Amino acid sequence: DNNPVDAEEEEEEEEIDYLDIVSLYPFVMKYRPFPTGVPRVLTGDQLHAQQQPMPWTSPGDNPFCGFLLCRVLPPTPAELGERHTLLPFRTRGGRLTFPLCALCAELGNADGRAKQHPQRQCPRALPRCRHVEQQRAWTHAYTHVELNAALALGYRVLTLYEVWHYDAWASLEAGNSLFANYVDTLLRLKVEASGWPADCATAEQRARFVADYAQREGIHIDAQQVQANPGMRAVVKTLLNALWGKLAQRAERDDICYTGSAREFHELLLDPRQDVVDFVHINKQLDRCVVRLRHPFVRGPATNNLAVACFVTAHARVYLHARLEEVRALSFRLRQPHSS
C-alpha cells in the first residue's frame, strides 16, 4: 500500500465505521454536467468587463462556467472550524496538499522531505501560523465547480487572471449526456456478472431487487442473465472506472524503431523532431532505437479531452468533500485508476 494511514482505536462508548464509496467516477460521469464545444478565452479588458468586483466571497460572485486561473485566499483555521479543506495546492517540492496557508505547506515540505517520507502528513497550517494574507494565498487554475464549493466554505478569490468559459454543457437532465448510455450499459453487465446478492435468495426478493434498481438508476437488469462471472465482472469494472483516464492519456510516449544501415541510423540521430534516448546494436546492419518526440511535435491521442477529464475528477472531489462534511472522519484516502 502506497498510502499508509495511522490506525485509530475506539474510545469508550465510541464506534468506528468504515465507509467505501464505489464507482465514484462512473457516478459523476452519468449525473454531472460536462463542457462541450470550444471555450471562450477571456483575459485583460475583456475579462474585467464581465467579472464581479474583487474579492469574491460567495458562489454568486462567479459568473463563469469552466476553468479559472486565479489567486485564492483560504479561510483561517478559526473560520473553517472542523470542516475539511477543499482546494488543492502543489508545493515546489511536488507534494499535493490541501492547506490553509501556502507558505506553511511549503515549509512543511522543505528540502524534499515529503518525497523521502511519503507517509508524513502535511498540516493544514503550521502551529501558530502568523503569515499574512499574501503569504497564505496562492495562484492556481480551478474548475468553477470546485471554486464555487470553496467560496461557500469561506475561501476568497483575490484576483482573476484568465477564464476559459464554456457556453455549451451536456447533462442527463438536458438529455444530451456524454456518458449515461455507456455507464448504464456497463453497470448492467457488472451487476449481472456479480450474481445475486446474498439477501436475494427467493424469487420475490430477486424481483424486488430488479425493480428497485430500475427505479433508482433507470437500468433494467435481465434476471435471466444474473450469474456470477468474475472474469466478466473484472473486465466490465475496468471499462467503467478507466474511461476517464482514456480522456487524459500522456502524450509523451517513447517509440521503438529499427534502422537497417549506418545512414539510416545517422539520419535518425539528426532528426530535429525527436531525440534518440536509447539504442542497441543488434548486429552490423540492425539497430534498435528508442525515440521520443520533442515539443512542439508531440501530439496527444485522438481520444484525449482534458477539459472533460478535469471535470470528472473535480466533480468527484466535490462529491467526496460533501460526504466528508456529513461525518466525523478520522482518516480518508482517495484511490483512483491512473491514466497511462
Residue 28 falls inside a structural domain: no
Local confidence band at 324 (pLDDT 50, 70, 90 cut-offs): confident
- Predicted local distance difference test score (pLDDT) of residue 197: 94
Same domain, 128 and 90: yes
* pLDDT digit string, tens, across residues 240-276: 998 999 999 988 889 999 999 999 999 999 999 999 9
Selection from 90-94, 105-109, 139-143, 242-246 with the highest mean pLDDT? 139-143
What is the per-residue burial (b if ≥16 Cβ within 10 Å, else e) of 260-277? eeeeebeebeeeeebebe
- Predicted local distance difference test score (pLDDT) of residue 261: 94
Residue 189 falls inside a structural domain: yes
Domain C-terminal end among 119, 140, 165: 165
Residue 332 falls inside a structural domain: no
Domain extent, residue 212, equals 180-246
Residue 274 falls inside a structural domain: yes
114 pLDDT above the threshold of 70: no
Residue 322 falls inside a structural domain: no
- Cis, bond preceding 55 (omega within 30 deg of 0): yes
- Predicted local distance difference test score (pLDDT) of residue 296: 84
Q: In the predicted model, what is the mean pLDDT of residues 84-96? A: 92
Same domain, 187 and 142: no
pTM over 0.75: yes
Domain C-terminal end among 112, 135, 165: 165
Same domain, 283 and 233: no
- Predicted local distance difference test score (pLDDT) of residue 326: 83
Q: What is the DSSP string of 31-64?
A: HS-EEESPPEEEEHHHHHTTSPSSSB-SGGG---
- Predicted local distance difference test score (pLDDT) of residue 115: 42
Domains in the chain, number: 3
Same domain, 129 and 67: yes
- Predicted local distance difference test score (pLDDT) of residue 340: 39
* pLDDT digit string, tens, across residues 152-162: 999 999 999 99
Residue 29 falls inside a structural domain: no
Same domain, 211 and 115: no
Local confidence band at 43 (pLDDT 50, 70, 90 cut-offs): very high
Same domain, 157 and 265: no
